[in-house]
């Protein structure tokens, strides 16, 4: 795994912190209501989140002021439905901030809220920090939070269902306290709003003029739709000094052009250059590239309810045929980690260490295929054309399955058609990558493996089957994990559910995804996060 | 002339109705639910709830029978309303209007590059038929036709931006941002037009009146550029007209490689997102442009070659 030393150091820090945290968790007993939060070891904070500034990269004491920097993003920061935020995405840009932040080990950290408590099953009380000001100089108030959340609930039809909250469920208790009432018990509420989509903005921003007033380290100075967003440092930022005086986000959707723009120094940082450019970017005297593990996993899912993959022996045989390590090395150019389970190892309850790996073992694969009911028919493998390396992955799987005695036909489909076809149960094998950009990653396991999750729901309702749901027992384990506020219990029940998923060979784990960020050599201290959209820019050095 | 105009207008209308029905039905018969696709994109990749999907379908009239949806859309279009993008929630006319200048700029620049290369090359090639300049230009034309635009684009970036440092790699701004995309777009087209100019010139150079002109003692330059080229350009104008239509929407690869936000880029994203109003609005616009360009080309004939008449059905 070609990992930048910084990234490796980050992970060592995380492992260390994670170990310390779990010890603390064991010792703490978790009686405190706050500590019941599944993601959080402690949400008590002193008056400064900069305590964790080493981790967030905000500690720039003594650093010289850097030069302006330009970042090439693959997605347009002005496209989409961001009218609620003046037409600029809250991803990547650091203009707006949420109440809670997600740390590198996917736990929750106080951000604009310094504290939160569940006062009963459906009520949450959030206390705001005292030292936060908006870009217009006005202080952060409960009114602004109520306004922001109400706007989000009004703006996106899916938001009330996602947050389990209605507009009347947001209430100001006093100037620094906000109460949220969820429509049903929803322990994942803090994790769900720890998301840039639920960002806090000033109520007096002029939406029609495309104005955005946030609390982040950068404020918008100029923008041109589909081209760039120029920002400059907000000097009164609450969370430490902002090192970069100006930061511009350019959109360059083509990966090769992004890499070439970096090479030409038209941009200083480029997200996700093509994987095959990694070596040349690292070897070049001018550029470098960093990889970062993300909370996404590449898998081949096996339809448990379509003949012949309804035979567990065949599914196990297919599992034994897949060489994860080789796939990462050869197909992904070494960018990624061989997977053991369907949930990314960066999510604490993924049970990555505890799940048994199937292989690779071609002899076992062959004998299991022979023992199964498989009679030589051609299996349909669907892959979306949006999945980078998807076609190559599919071809490697096809070859391996062929060696094990199973014929597979690949169908590369355009994303929408692919979604439809898979959900209708037309595929035997679906090659896909899924992850989360939220602190509440529970929906990952729910959507794929619960009978009422998105993948199974349609067929389950129609004919009581589904696609990848191994049965009622797994349903109840997932429900238990979803509803518990206890971190250890969540880890335990999800592990049991994932064990059963793997026992039934409902999925072939392929790789835990890593993403690449390339940079010009005069840029240092890139502070990447597992969720790429949550990168932090203020501490970056650009000499 | 009036007859011609009436006939052409009727054809234009018929073509537009045909195109709109075809696009409308093609979009609806393409697998992939717009409600699910759009909501998933809006929610950062998370699957939407069935209730949200139903709301979306209801709100955008997607539950109506297709002919009713089509009729409603035509009604709106006749009232000058191309509707709102599902994904961006912005009026389609505004989206198109914002992107049109970039695309027009690129198309015109690409065409100028193509003409600047192809007309002299084609003429020289024809005049020196069988000679070295002819072979060189024919090989160049063959290369030009065979090289895909995206490949040529990267090649130009590597040579002119990375090695020579002359132009920025991507983006929109001054003329320096336009040079490489226009070269990329123009050189592929130049190849097609060069071959056409060459063959057309060869044909014309064999005509009686050229011999007459030469025998009158006119200078070769006058014979070629005044007498021959003018007539040789008739088929070229047709192709240029058609190609200009292609340039407007076929520039998508160039727009992606050089990150120029134009109509091609808008269309391709709308198709992937199943953003029906944007796709329908754009296809309609492209159809209008195609039909109008053809119309203008037909009109131009008359001025290039007065023998061509609009009457009598030979136009």
B2 vs A303, higher pLDDT: A303
Of A158, A227, A257, the CB nearest to B172: A227
Query: pLDDT tens, A431-470?
Result: 999 988 777 788 889 989 999 888 898 888 888 889 999 9
The pLDDT of residue A384 is 93
Q: How far apart are CA B39 and CA B50, in angstroms?
A: 11
Instruction: Tell me whether residues A264 and B161 touch, CB distance under 8 A.
Output: yes
Contacts of A353 (CB under 8 A, 6+ apart): none
A235, A216 contact by CB (below 8 A): no
Contact between residue A295 and residue A531 where contact means Cβ atoms under 8 Å apart: yes
Inter-chain touch B256–A254, beta carbons under 8 Å: yes
pTM here is: 0.84
Chain A interface, mutation test: which of B44, B181, B253, most A Cβ atoms within 10 Å? B44
For residues A506 and A449, the answer to whether their CB atoms sit within 8 Å is yes
Query: Taking every pair of C-alpha atoms in chain B, what is the biggest distance, in angstroms?
Result: 84
Which of A416, A418, A433, A440 is the best substitution to test chain B (most B C-beta atoms within 10 A)? A416
Query: Which residues in chain B touch residue A91, judged by CB atoms under 8 angstroms apart?
Result: 44
Chain-chain contact of B42 with A415 (C-beta, under 8 angstroms): no
Judge whether A183 is closer than 8 Å to chain B, CB to CB: no
Give the model's confidence band at B46: pLDDT under 50 very low, under 70 low, under 90 confident, else very high: confident
Proportion of chain B above pLDDT 90, given as a percent: 27
Please, which residues have CB within 8 angstroms of residue A420's CB and are 6 or more apart in sequence? Answer: B31, B32, B33, B36
Give the span between the Cα atoms of A368 and A372, in whole angstroms.
6
From the list B106, B182, B156, B272, the residue with the least C-alpha distance to A256 is B156
Q: Which residues of A touch B49 (CB under 8 A)?
A: 158, 161
Where helices occur in A32-141 by DSSP H, the ranges are 53-56
Q: Where do we find the tokens 């992939």?
A: B32
Q: What's residue B210's pLDDT?
A: 84
- H or E stretch covering A170: strand A165-174
The structure tokens listed for B228 are: 């021959």
H-helix or E-strand spanning residue A401: helix A390-403
The shortest CB-CB distance from A252 to any of B44, B49, B259 is to: B259
Interface check for A385 against chain B (CB to CB < 8 A): the answer is no
Residues A320 and A365 sit within 8 Å (Cβ to Cβ): yes
Distance (Å) from the C-alpha of residue A187 to the closest C-alpha of chain B?
19
What token pair was written down for A455? Answer: 């993948």
Q: Which residues of A touch B172 (CB under 8 A)?
A: 227
What average pLDDT does range B28-54 have in this prediction? Answer: 82
- CB distance from A416 to chain B under 8 Å? yes
Helix (H, G, I), strand (E, B) or coil at A150: helix
Look at phi and psi of residue A164 and say left if phi exceeds 0, alpha if psi is from -120 to 50, else beta. left
- Phi, psi (deg, nearest 5) at residue A139: -75, 155
Rounded to whole angstroms, the Cα distance separating A365 from A404 reads 6
Question: Residues of B with CB below 8 A from A447's CB?
Answer: 47
CB A76 within 8 A of CB A251: yes
* Distance between CA atoms of residues A306 and A429, nearest Å: 10
User: Chain B: nearest CA to A493, how far in angstroms?
Assistant: 23
Q: Are A213 and A141 in contact (CB under 8 A)?
A: no
With CA atoms as reference, the chain A residue closest to B262 would be A226
Distance CA B253, CA B247 (A): 11
Nearest CB to B55; choose among A157, A263, A419: A157
* Contact by Cβ (8 Å): A458, A507: no
- E-only strand ranges, A183-267: 218-224, 228-233, 246-251
* Nearest C-alpha in A relative to B256: A254
| Interatomic CA distance for residues A182 and A122, integer angstroms | 5
| Contact between A80 and A94 (Cβ < 8 Å) | no
Residue located via tokens 């993601």: A39
Residue B250: what pLDDT? Answer: 57
pLDDT of A410-420, one tens digit each? 999 988 889 88
What 3-state DSSP class applies to A324?
Answer: helix
Output the six-digit token pair for B230.
């003018």
Q: Are A530 and A293 in contact (CB under 8 A)?
A: yes
Which chain A residues contact residue B98 at CB under 8 A? 225
Q: How far apart are CA B309 and CA B302, in angstroms?
A: 7
**Residues in CB range of A462: below 8 A, 6 or more apart:** none
Closest approach of chain B CAs to the CA of A195, in angstroms?
A: 11
Residue A38: what pLDDT?
40
User: What tokens does B151 get?
Assistant: 């490949």
Task: Name which of B187, B168, B198 is nearest B109 in CA terms.
Answer: B187
Interface contact B157-A257, CB threshold 8 A: yes
Mutant choice from B43, B161, B166 vs A, greatest count of A C-beta within 10 A: B43
Give contacts of A 436-475 with B, CB under 8 A. 437-438, 443, 447, 454, 457
Other Cβ atoms less than 10 A from the Cβ of A480: the count is 16
Residue, of B307 and A180, whose pLDDT is higher? A180
DSSP type of residue B275: -
Residue B233's region, left for phi above 0, alpha for psi from -120 to 50, else beta, is alpha
For B158-161, the CB contacts below 8 A with 24+ separation are B158/A260, B161/A260, B161/A264, B161/A266
Low-confidence ranges of chain A (pLDDT < 70): 1-65
How close A257 comes to chain B (CA, Å)?
Answer: 6
- Checking ipTM against 0.95, whether it exceeds it is no
- Cβ distance A230 to A216 under 8 Å? no
Please give, rounded to a whole number of angstroms, the shortest distance from the CA of A339 to a CA of chain B: 22
Nearest to A420 among B32, B170, B261 (CB): B32
B247 touches B111 (CB < 8 A): yes
Supply the DSSP string of A462-531, one letter for each residue.
Answer: HHS--SS---HHHHHHHHHHHH---HHHHHHHHHHHHHHHHHTT-EEEEEEEEEEEEEETTEE--B--SS
Q: How far is CA B39 from CA A52, A146, A173, B48, B49, in A?
A: 36, 24, 33, 6, 9
Cβ–Cβ gap B47/A447 under 8 Å: yes
Residues of B in contact with A161 (CB under 8 A): 49, 51-52
Chain B residue closest to A455 (CA)?
A: B47
What is the tally of helices (H) and strands (E) in chain B? 14, 0
CA nearest to B61, candidates B46, B79, B75, B40: B75
What pLDDT shows up at residue A64?
A: 57
Residues of B in contact with A435 (CB under 8 A): 45
> Which residues of chain A lie closer than 8 angstroms to B50, CB-CB?
457
* Side-chain-facing half-sphere of B113: CA atoms under 13 Å: 20
Nearest-CA distance A484 → chain B (Å): 22
Q: A420 vs chain B: nearest CA distance in angstroms?
A: 6
Interface contact B39-A158, CB threshold 8 A: yes
Of A501, A180, A505, which is closest to residue A351 (Cα–Cα)?
A: A501
A198 Cβ under 8 Å from any chain B Cβ: no
Q: Indicate yes or no: CB of B88 within 8 angstroms of CB of A81.
A: yes
Distance between CA atoms of residues A397 and A413, nearest Å: 17
Of A266, A419, A457, the CB nearest to B32: A419
Tell me which chain B residues have a C-beta less than 8 angstroms from the C-beta of A421: 31
Q: At B309, phi and psi to the nearest 5?
A: -115, 150
Best of A257, A385, A417 to substitute, by most chain B Cβ atoms within 10 angstroms, is: A257
A81 in contact with chain B, both atoms CB, cutoff 8 A:
yes
Residue that has been written with the tokens 């009432």 in this structure: A181
Tally the residues of chain A. Answer: 543
Question: Tens digits of per-residue pLDDT, B84-110?
Answer: 998 888 899 999 998 888 888 999 999
What angle, rounded to 10 degrees, do the helices at B92-127 and B276-304 form? 40
With tokens 């609806």, the residue in question is B28
Contact list in A for residue B265 (CB cut-off 8 A) is: 253
Distance CA A404, CA B118 (A): 57
Cα distance between residue A7 and residue A514, in whole Å = 11
Structure tokens at A123: 């009520």
Contact B106, B262 (CB under 8 A): yes
């Amino acid at each position: 795994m070609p990992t930048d030393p910084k990234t490796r150091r980050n992970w060592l820090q995380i492992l260390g912190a994670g170990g310390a945290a779990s010890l603390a968790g064991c010792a703490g007993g978790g009686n405190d209501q706050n500590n019941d939060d599944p993601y959080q070891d402690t949400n008590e904070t002193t008056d400064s989140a900069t305590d964790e500034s080493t981790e967030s990269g905000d500690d720039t004491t003594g650093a010289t002021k850097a030069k302006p920097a330009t970042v090439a993003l693959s997605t347009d920061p002005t496209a989409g439905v961001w009218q609620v935020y003046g037409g600029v995405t809250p991803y990547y840009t650091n203009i707006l901030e949420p109440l809670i932040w997600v740390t590198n080990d996917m736990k929750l950290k106080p951000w604009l809220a310094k504290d939160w408590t569940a006062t009963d099953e459906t009520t949450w009380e959030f206390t705001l920090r005292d030292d936060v000001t908006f870009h217009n100089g006005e202080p952060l108030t409960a009114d602004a939070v109520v306004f922001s959340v109400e706007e989000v609930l009004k703006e996106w039809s899916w938001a009330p269902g996602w947050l389990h909250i209605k507009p009347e469920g947001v209430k100001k208790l006093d100037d620094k306290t906000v109460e949220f009432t969820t429509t049903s018990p929803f322990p994942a509420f803090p994790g769900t709003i720890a998301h840039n989509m639920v960002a806090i903005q000033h109520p007096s921003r002029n939406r029609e003029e495309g104005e955005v007033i946030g609390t982040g380290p950068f404020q918008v100075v100029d923008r041109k739709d589909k081209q760039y967003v120029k920002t400059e440092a907000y000097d009164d930022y609450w969370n430490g000094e902002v090192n970069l005086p100006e930061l511009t986000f350019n959109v360059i959707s083509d990966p090769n052009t992004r890499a070439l723009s970096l090479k030409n120094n038209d941009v200083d940082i480029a997200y996700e250059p093509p994987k095959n450019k990694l070596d040349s970017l690292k070897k070049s005297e001018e550029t470098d590239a960093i990889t970062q593990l993300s909370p996404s996993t590449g898998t081949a899912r096996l339809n448990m309810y379509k003949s012949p993959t309804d035979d567990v022996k065949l599914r196990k045989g297919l599992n034994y045929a897949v060489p994860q390590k080789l796939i990462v090395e050869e197909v992904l150019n070494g960018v990624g980690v061989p997977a053991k389970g369907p949930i990314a190892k960066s999510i604490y309850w993924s049970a990555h260490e505890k799940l048994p790996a199937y292989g690779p073992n071609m002899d076992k694969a062959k004998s299991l295929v022979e023992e199964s009911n498989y009679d030589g028919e051609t299996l349909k493998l669907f892959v979306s054309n949006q999945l980078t390396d998807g076609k190559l992955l599919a071809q490697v799987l096809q070859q391996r399955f062929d060696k094990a005695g199973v014929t597979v036909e690949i169908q590369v489909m355009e994303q929408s058609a692919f979604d439809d076809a898979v959900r209708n149960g037309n595929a035997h094998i679906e090659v896909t990558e899924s992850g989360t950009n939220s602190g509440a990653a529970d929906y990952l396991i729910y959507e794929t493996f619960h009978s009422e999750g998105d993948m199974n729901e349609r067929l389950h309702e129609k004919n009581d089957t589904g696609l990848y749901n191994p049965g009622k027992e797994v349903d109840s384990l997932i429900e238990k994990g979803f509803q518990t506020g206890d971190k250890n219990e969540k880890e335990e029940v999800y592990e049991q559910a994932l064990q059963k998923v793997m026992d039934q060979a409902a999925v072939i784990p392929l790789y835990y995804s890593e993403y690449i960020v390339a940079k010009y050599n005069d840029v240092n201290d890139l502070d990447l996060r597992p969720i790429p959209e949550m990168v932090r820019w203020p501490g970056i050095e650009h000499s | 002339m009036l007859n011609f105009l009436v006939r052409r207008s009727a054809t234009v209308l018929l073509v537009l109705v045909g195109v709109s029905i075809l696009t409308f039905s093609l979009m609806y018969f393409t697998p992939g639910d717009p409600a699910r696709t759009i909501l998933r994109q809006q929610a950062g990749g998370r699957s939407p709830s069935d209730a949200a999907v139903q709301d979306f379908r209801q709100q955008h009239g997607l539950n109506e029978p297709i002919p009713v949806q089509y009729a409603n859309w035509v009604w709106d279009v006749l009232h000058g309303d191309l509707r709102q993008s599902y994904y961006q929630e912005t009026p389609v006319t505004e989206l198109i209007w914002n992107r049109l200048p970039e695309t027009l700029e690129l198309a015109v620049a690409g065409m100028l590059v193509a003409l600047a290369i192809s007309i002299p090359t084609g003429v020289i090639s024809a005049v020196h038929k069988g000679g070295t300049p002819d072979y060189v230009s024919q090989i160049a034309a063959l290369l030009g036709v065979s090289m895909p635009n995206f490949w040529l684009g990267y090649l130009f970036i590597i040579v002119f931006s990375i090695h020579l440092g002359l132009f920025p790699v991507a983006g929109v701004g001054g003329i320096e941002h336009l040079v490489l995309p226009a070269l990329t777009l123009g050189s592929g087209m130049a190849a097609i037009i060069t071959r056409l100019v060459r063959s057309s010139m060869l044909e014309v150079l064999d005509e009686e009146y050229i011999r007459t002109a030469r025998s009158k003692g006119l200078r070769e330059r006058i014979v070629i550029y005044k007498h021959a080229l003018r007539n040789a350009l008739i088929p070229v104008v047709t192709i240029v007209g058609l190609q200009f239509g292609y340039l407007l929407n076929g520039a998508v690869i160039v727009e992606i490689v050089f990150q120029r936000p134009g109509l091609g880029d808008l269309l391709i994203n709308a198709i992937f997102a199943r953003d029906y109003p944007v796709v329908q609005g754009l296809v309609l616009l492209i159809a209008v442009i195609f039909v109008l360009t053809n119309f203008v080309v037909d009109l131009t004939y008359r001025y290039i070659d007065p023998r061509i008449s609009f009457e009598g059905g030979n136009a």
